[in-house]
Structure 1
Amino acid sequence: MAVTATKNGDIFIFSGRAYHITEAKNKALEPYGCMVHDYGLVLELVPDAGQRQSLAQQIGNARFMRNRYLNDRIAYYEETKGTLSVNEYKSKHFPELRKEFGFLQLSDKFALESAVEHVDAAYKNFFSGRAAFPKFASKWKPAGNSYTTKQTNGNIRLEEADGLPYIRLPKIGLVRFVLPRKQTLQTLVPHGTSILAATVKKKGDRYTVSLQLETVITSPAKMVQVSIQDVLAADMGLKLFAVIGSQGWEKEIPNPRWIRKHEKRLRRLQKSLSRKKYDQKTHTGSRNWEKARRKVAAEQRKIADQRKDFQHKLSRRIADSCSAFCCEDLNIRGMVKNQHLSNEVSSVSWGQFLTMVKYKLERQGKYFIQVSRWYPSSQVCSCCGYRNREVKDLGVRQWTCPECGTYHDRDINAKDNILAEGIRLLGEAGVSVAA
């Protein structure tokens, strides 16, 4: 069934279904010169004691359903060598499970459906080579402390009561949340923006809700010609977070090294936690253990918040100051396996940063270019093209080209080569780069 779009005033109404729903909606919006814009919004919840219990029930039920479906799907394959599909499991097994396990009656229907759909998505990622085989969820790990529900008939919406902001969640009701500074309910979810789904996560004693929002925006016009000065290239690193620049100039971005800055305090808090009483069998600790755990969680949360703040601000400056951004396609998964670099690579979080740069550029019709990870950007002389294989050694930070005699700083030379390769890839994409 095809997806159609009808304009009612300044709002678009969609009808129909499709497997790739966003692509189908964008195709329906082409005659209007518009496109779907999906984005997320994270809010801090302030539930009362009863709501905390209800949220824990929803999370536990979703975790139970995920593990049950994964177990049944594995067993079904071992018996029949076939696949127990999501639709078959929903239609045949859901009613039986609800009768057998009464606590599932307390759960939102969409939360249970989303749990098994996540398992199916994990299988698809496994077969496509993007991820490992699906694992069972544990309440002691982040993946087992969340649930997702879908919006239907306005069951998820923001409301105001007695001057305070609330979010209505299925089976939970109105839950207080922290309104971001200088924001109102109308600016959080503007007119014409739809809430598609909500994911509630529990981290320590904190609950957050991530809203999946959808709105229709005017399609940004893709640039067909850019100035070479509007093309930025970046060589990512550990000593420096990045060397960013264009033709004839560069800027060094220091690595904030969040973990190193907090390392001493975090180590002290973790040592204190390890000395408190904790029962491995029941997974319960003393009151002092709980206090110490909260302090460790708060310190780790501070590190994560500082990292995200830095990356959002830097990615915004990049997206606003260039028409195209070029970088390497880094093998981050392989780098993390290096025991000497794993902590530093995880702390710097290049993947999260580049994702931010990419979506901020694409929203404006700009280009995000990734150079192949096999391109020898550090080894090639940016002046004459001579390849110095000795530069494979990461300890070589400066070198002189034996062919043309040019002195190179490793990071600046890599930036220049990435810029040249990025311009070539832009030309292949039909974009003219003017000097």
Structure 2
Amino acid sequence: MFHRHLCKLCSKTPSAATLASPLGKLQEERGEGVAKDPKKDKQHRQIFLQKFRERLDSDTTGKNTLAGFIDLPEGISPTMAAVGPLKRGEEPLPPWLKMKVAKGVSRLPRFNRIRNSMREKRLATVCEEAKCPNIGECWGGDEEEGTATATIMVMGSHCTRGCRFCSVLTSRTPPPLDPDEPQKVANAVAEMGVDYIVMTMVDRDDLTDGGAAHVVRCVNTIKEKNPLLLLEALVGDFHGDLKLVETVALSPLSVYAHNIECVERITPNVRDRRASYRQSLKVLEHVNSFTKGAMLTKSSIMLGLGEKEEEVRQTLRDLRTAGVSAVTLGQYLQPARTRLKVSRYAHPKEFQMWEEEAMAMGFLYCASGPLVRSSYRAGEYYIKSLVKQRGAAATKSNTTTTTTTTTTTTTTNTASLAAATVTDSATLQGE
């Protein structure tokens, strides 16, 4: 892509003000200093293109190519992308946040399978909606090990909350829920060929139960069609109603995820007023106590919103105290001009520091990096093994409890029978 600079060749083209001035008209008549309109003068257009090609060929940086000039994102003109200085108050992205899209990703069988399945069924994924830079890693995965994953968003594309960091559309009266969505999602997951899926949701405060029943139907339908699938649900706080939280926690989930998003001090400025730092902690803590630690809980923190080092450390402590086992930390990037601006870009070494501190605090899993998102590589080996270990431990615990109960019952019945026999014998002897 071209650097932000004024093209010396283009700068020779006269402005409207120059042509309108008496001197400009005189120069135009004489052919001095002012080039003719390229649209009307075919010869000038050919000269312009020839000089433009020569400038491209003589470029020594290797960054300015004809392909880079032509292949612009949809809706972006060459002038918007290449010409002019940065606007006041905007900082250029640091080098560690600039990445090239891996070549050949779109040709991977698994990547294509996931993309085609989602588009055919008109289902939304956070991966594409948020233009996630990690889509190649997550959708591509490992063909042999099956570490591919995708994040499906259910309950529509309109959220009733207006968090200032999020680009999801907001509406007080979003469209009604699609009753066929659970089956559509289950069919799509089956076609993907993945063994780990992340299902997220928009907040639906317009619904009495916040959409908890719909989430449970989606989870049940997915698991019925894909019994061996590991399913992570990234859900909202359901108005802080712990009964609704229990309803979702009782479904056949593998991971219960709820994002705390940022440190406590800046929460009112970052999240919707109906969400709160303490409410999110309460939800996560209740899931752990309600499931007696059998459910793996997960949360995420964004950096670059004005937080301080000690505040991030305290947030990690709060999450660990609430029983959260897995945590991710990533860089906040402004998704649109109407959203919160980035206060700073945290260095990769800082993310490495937080990962080390999180593991030292007792977290079983931590993914921390500038481009890490809450569902980043959710299906990788370690977190999958944790889920399976928790499931095996819960099964063993239930089996032990059942065996103990049976043994106790048998012993009690035997003792009662023995006592009855002794009593009967004494009665007979007395007679």
Please indicate the TM-score interval, normalised by the length of the shorter structure.
under 0.3
How does the TM-score come out when normalised to structure 1?
0.22
Q: Determine which structure has more spread, i.e. the larger CA radius of gyration.
A: 2
How does the TM-score come out when normalised to structure 2?
0.23
Bigger relative contact order (CA 8 A; separation at least 6): 1
